[in-house]
Amino acid sequence: MEINSCGNTLFEDFEITDDSKKLHFLEEAVNESVNLINCGLDYFSKINFTNNDLVYSLSFLNLSRGFELLMKCMICYKRYDNTKDNKYFKKHFPIKEEMMGYGHNLNRLRKEIMKHYQGLSRGKTSNTKMISQLKEDRDFISKDKKLIRILKIISKYGTKGRYYELDYVTSDNKTKITERNGITYIDYVPSDNEKNSISPKFEMERLIMEFLEKDEQLRNTFTNSINNEDLLICNKVWQEIIEQYIRPYLNKFMEALSRQFSYGILGNKAKMQIN
């Protein structure tokens, strides 16, 4: 395909293959995904006990879209690396319908990128340290229950949680309201008898409370601040729980995904983007 959009002599005509153009856009999509994730993590660190209704949405919106976009880009890079030199494959990237089939489900995408670890070398090699790190990443991504739960919550926002309040307003439903440790949880059963629909924001708060209950010092501080109506201390404890017990899972997940690029699992084109 020839490129010379304006006929200006400052721009030279040059040919670009379809694959090279697609790889260019894929690189841009990866950069966008990283920016979205970093933005989401920044908002996530700003969540506290009193501002959560506003900041949760900003955090979940960026994290859900960022991780979805990044993992879909990884699938594209891997498919390209596997097929680029095979004459039997006319298409070197997944088709649109295949990518749409993953939806916005982060755990489904997580399971798909797990396949990239297949064939890791066994035994001692010159890259023993690298192989060991990749196996550790593989085990973390595939087995860590807390990571999977966090991704499920973020994913739920991307799939249907964005409109939780509107769905509640427009649905015929039965409502159950529970208050625990000063937090109100709203649970409703839709008229179509589907499984109870719980807001991702409330699910994340439940997870925060679970971590809080296991940390005796922070739990006592939080309880005292609630009794004394000291919202500044409440906010500080809330943020400490997020920074100590939740964000590290997201940071580690991001690092594991990055190593699929830098260690060459996704092929040289993906590795070049990191380098």
R_g of the chain, CA atoms, integer Å: 23
Which residues are within 8 A (CB) of 246 and not within 5 positions of it... i.e. 6 or more apart? 44, 150, 207, 208, 211
Nearest CA among 95, 75, 83 for reference residue 30: 75
Mean pLDDT, consecutive 10-residue stretches, the chain (275 aa), reads 45 59 92 97 93 85 96 94 75 86 92 88 60 92 96 86 68 60 52 57 90 96 93 95 96 96 91 77
3-state secondary structure of 4: coil
Report d(CA 275, CA 272) in Å as an integer. 5
Extents of the domains making up the chain: 16-274
Three-state DSSP at 267 gives coil
Q: Is 1 exposed, middle or buried (0-12, 13-18, 19+ CB in 10 A)?
A: exposed
Matching residue, tokens 């015929």: 172
Q: At which residue do the structure tokens 């990866």 appear?
A: 30
For tokens 């939740």, name the residue: 246
pLDDT tens-digit readout, 91-127: 788 888 888 888 899 999 999 999 999 876 554 445 7
CA pair distance 89, 81, nearest whole angstrom:
12
* Entry pTM: 0.82
- Own/partner pairs, 193-196, CB within 8 angstroms, 24+ separation: none
Amino acid in the structure at residue 268: N
DSSP, res 49: T
Q: What is the DSSP string of 157-201?
A: HHHTGGGHHHHHHHS-EEEEEEEETTEEEEEEEETT--S-EE-HH
**Paired tokens of 12:** 């030279």
CB atoms within 10 A of CB 161: 25
pLDDT for 55-66, tens place per residue? 888 999 999 999
pLDDT digits 0-9 by tens, 198-230: 678 888 988 999 999 999 999 999 999 999 999
Residue with tokens 């799939």: 159
